Amino acid sequence: MNAQTHGPSPNLTVNTANNRVTDTGYAYDAAGNVTNDGFHTYTWDADANMRTVDSTSVTFDALDRPVEKAVGTTYTQFVYSP
């Protein structure tokens, strides 16, 4: 795998036993989902779908597809064809 970095990159420490970043500011829920990275707060549902990032929220349908994003009072809906 090749990777390129443009600009400054953070140096992160990772626990290889659980693949979690161990640097200060990172927090995880019981399922291993990051809940805080020092900059943003995240919430997850039982299906491991990200539900919120800070004040932005996402609604999922029964097939786990995102169908609506809410940012403050602005809503964006996603429509899927059968």
Interval 31-48: pLDDT, tens: 989 999 888 999 999 999
CA–CA gap between residue 46 and residue 82 (Å, rounded)? 26
% pLDDT > 70, the chain? 87
- Going from N- to C-terminal start, the domains of the chain cover 14-77
pTM of the model: 0.68
